[in-house]
A and B are shown apart, each in its own frame.
Chain A
Amino acid sequence: MEVTHKKITSLRMEHITKRFPGVLASDDITLTVEEGEVLALVGENGAGKTTLMNILMGLYQPDEGRILINGEEVHFKSPNDAFDAGLGMVHQQYMLVPNMTVLENIALGYKQAWSPIKLDLGMVRERINEISKKYGLFVDPDAYIWQLSVGEQQRVELVKTLCLGARFLILDEPTSALTPQETDELIVLLKRMSSELSIIFISHKLQEVKDLSDKIAILRHGAMVFEGTTKDHSPSDIAALMTGHEVDLPQNDAPSCNGTPVLDLKNLNVKSDRGFLALKDLNLTIRGGEIVGLAGVSGNGQRELAEAINGLRKVESGEILFFGENIANKTPYHIIEAGMGYIPEERNTEGIVPSFSMKENLILKDSGRDEFSKHSFLKNKAIEKNANDLRVKFDIRSPNIHVAAGSLSGGNIQKVILAREISRKPKFLIAVYPIRGLDLGAAEFIHKQLLEKRKEGIGILLVSEELDEILDLSDRVAVIFKGQIQKVLDRKDANRRSLGILMAGVKDDQTV
């Protein structure tokens, strides 16, 4: 059954203003999208992109301004109204119910399958199949959301929005968690779709913006600072307009180091949430003062590896030698005390306590240290000084240090975690997708910080799907595939092609 909405020939937001306590999130913004157009909305973390789109979807009410569709003013009191008008949004933070299946999550919005006494899941399944086939987006309808990797969840979100029949798509950083291949596929797909629908696309990756969009709008501090056609501007132009300066991602060009091994994984076996072995006899050694990039398509055991090392997942067998001590199956507390730093993938549930203030989140791992507490009372002055220093140093955009960390923009939450993990002087750092969702300026800064740490002699395990990030930073690159290390390459031998082939599971690149 096809869902039909009236065509959206033009959509216009006029003089939109939205204030949150202490922040002007949207400052008199006006923008227009015509039929079949792709508008890229870019800007630094906290610039107000998500807020503006939430207003368009009826999630937030603007303080001032109005929305016009096909020239007529509309009032969206809730997302339902926006759906009815044919709008659909893939949110930056996934809007999925973890303990329900993919099928149920989609059924939740698929009202055609609702009769009072029965939920017609068969109909939803058909709809999913139809959409999957049409767009080549495959999802397992019976998987529970909590079992899926972030990338898979992202795909579910997209399928969900398409199933609900959106004619106007809003995509808030849809590629931030996708593999490079998935990203390319998505861009091709969106291009194809743009012939029949209009799209607003938010991304920090300017190459995508360049490839996909017709028009580009740049936000800074809540205000629209630039509008233009994409083809007139190169990615570096856009980056400069966005950040106000030339962006230059740093490179690791130091000679490779010969430090002593600090993290030694021996025959590691770890199970996934679904109960099968996610890591199979995995071996990897990382020395002090080197960055080892772990390249691989997400879902090949990266998450399980990071969690096992940090004591968050049971190790079935094998050893994790950390400065000579076997920390397999030790408590996270013990592992943190031993000097492990961890930047987790799931930043909203693992990296911060959303309801705690930003300053509290910044000392979450150190609340018991003398630095921040005395006779089991917290030292507020020291905590605030720490927070203020980090806020400046890491350029965390927040009204102050007392706001709940969960109220920050996605990229700024990431900065809070990074600030804490890097500043607490770990002896080793596991960074899982550290620049996911960060704007270019912030990514540049974080990369510099990681290289700085490397120089101080700290070993770093960098998990990423971004080959550029891996190639820029790593001394050695380990490719993970189906829970095993395919191969470890020196930086000089690694390039996009060789890594791509290894990531796809081909053991020896000679055979291709």
Chain B
Amino acid sequence: MNFIVNILSLGIPFSVALLIASLGEMFNQRAGVFNLGCEGIMAMGAFLGMLVPYSIGQGGPTPGIYNVLGLALAMGVGALFGMLFGFVVVTFRAPQGIAGIGLQMFGVGTAGTLFRHFVGGTQSVPGIGNLPIPFLSKIPILGPIFFSHNILVYLAFLFVPTAWYILFKTPWGLRVRAVGTNPRAADSIGIQVNKVRYQALAVGGALAGLAGAYLSLCQAKMFSDEIIAGRGFIAVALVYFGHWHPVKIMGGALLFSLAQALQLAIQGQGINFPYEFAVMLPYVMVIVVLAFSRESQLLGPTALGQPFNREKRI
């Protein structure tokens, strides 16, 4: 029992960075742009998130403010990067895959370089601590699993219904879905396709930045070059896995993270299980599930990856 509670209470906070980043990526893809540069934006977010509390907030009276500033900076720069990406793939219609890989390398490289310049070596920050919810966190079993996390965990799970609402119940969500599926139709009815795509990229970038900052401020409480560790790419995969739907994406993020927690727990128990297999496990799970998931072409953004050019018929 304890073992299971451990895995769950470990796996849930693990899932948060993936969840936030993939919800952002979902908006990108719903608008017809896939951003493989997610990883790079996350790296920038992770660095900037910890930089603020590290450099100016050290020992200050209200470290909380600096954490918030760090998160805000990470989101702002993330949004900026998203729009920069838009400049390349929306305005100049560059191939999205290549541009995304470029952004990933640029982001990871820049974050690492700036880190060495401004911080130097491994430095930990106090970060954002846990915020057990009064009473609820005292409930046996459920308390530790659901109600003893830091505030971003709760927020991230609130993002899920919020993202759903935005996507399916607001005019902006409607526009996003339209430009990602049939940009020509959206254009013909007066929607500015490229503008909506920029907006979606900004939202996606901001969320990727936040996801990165979560890793440095809440999870690792430090920055290192490998802090993102491929999570940006997993986030992209999770969007496909979740068929562009916030709830299914959450399912994917949880599945992946619980598998990861399980793997850690198995190791922690000292069970003689080859380490490499344990690390592979979550990835294998995603591939298997992707391979067997029913194709739902009809739901997805069919114009994904296609730049829009009004005067070109195709």
Which of A's residues lie within 8 Å of B, judged by CB? Answer: 57, 59-61, 78-80, 83, 89, 91, 94-100, 104-105, 107-109, 113-119, 144, 146, 160, 164, 354-355, 404, 406-408
Contact = CB atoms under 8 A, between A and B. Distances in A.
* A-B pairs, 5 with minimum CB distance: A406-B314, A114-B171, A109-B189, A95-B185, A80-B190
Contacts of B116: none
B311 A95 contact: no
B271 interface: no
Contact of A98 (B181, B187, B314): B181
A60 B184 CA distance: 12
Contact of A108 (B170, B174, B298, B310): B174
Interface in B261-308: 298-300, 302
Contacts of B170: 116-119
B314 A107 contact: no
Contact of B181 (A79, A97, A113, A115): A97
A109 B312 contact: no
B285 to A, nearest CB: 28
Nearest to A91: B188
Chain B contact-residue range equals 20 to 34
A138 B18 CA distance: 45
A97 B182 contact: yes
Interface of B: 169-175, 177-178, 181-182, 184-192, 298-300, 302, 310-314
Contact of A89 (B169, B173, B178, B188): B188
Contacts of B298: 98-99, 144, 146
Given A60-B311, A107-B174, A407-B314, A118 B169 contact: yes
Contacts of B169: 118-119
A406 B313 contact: yes
Given A108-B178, A404-B314, A83 B190 contact: yes
B190 A109 contact: yes
B113 to A, nearest CB: 40
B189 A108 contact: yes
Contacts of B299: 99
User: Which of B173, B182, B188, B192 gathers the greatest number of chain A CB atoms within 10 Å?
Assistant: B188
Given A116-B170, A119-B171, A108 B302 contact: no
B178 to A, nearest CB: 5
Contacts of B314: 354-355, 404, 406-407
B177 A97 contact: yes
Contact of B313 (A95, A99, A115, A407): A407
B188 A100 contact: no
Nearest to B299: A99
Nearest to B179: A97
Contacts of A95: 182, 184-185, 188-189
A249 B242 CA distance: 54
A108 B181 contact: no
A460 B178 CA distance: 39
A407 B309 CA distance: 12
Contacts of A119: 169-171, 173-174
A100 B178 contact: yes
A209 to B, nearest CB: 24
A182 B9 CA distance: 62
A421 B283 CA distance: 46
Contacts of A91: 188
Contact of A99 (B171, B181, B190): B181
A118 to B, nearest CB: 6
B186 A97 contact: yes
8 contacts: A78-B187, A78-B192, A79-B187, A83-B190, A91-B188, A98-B181, A108-B174, A109-B191
Contacts of A100: 174, 177-178, 181
Given A97-B177, A97-B186, 18 more contacts: A78-B187, A78-B192, A79-B188, A79-B189, A96-B185, A97-B181, A99-B298, A99-B302, A100-B177, A107-B174, A108-B175, A108-B185, A108-B186, A113-B171, A116-B170, A160-B189, A404-B313, A406-B313
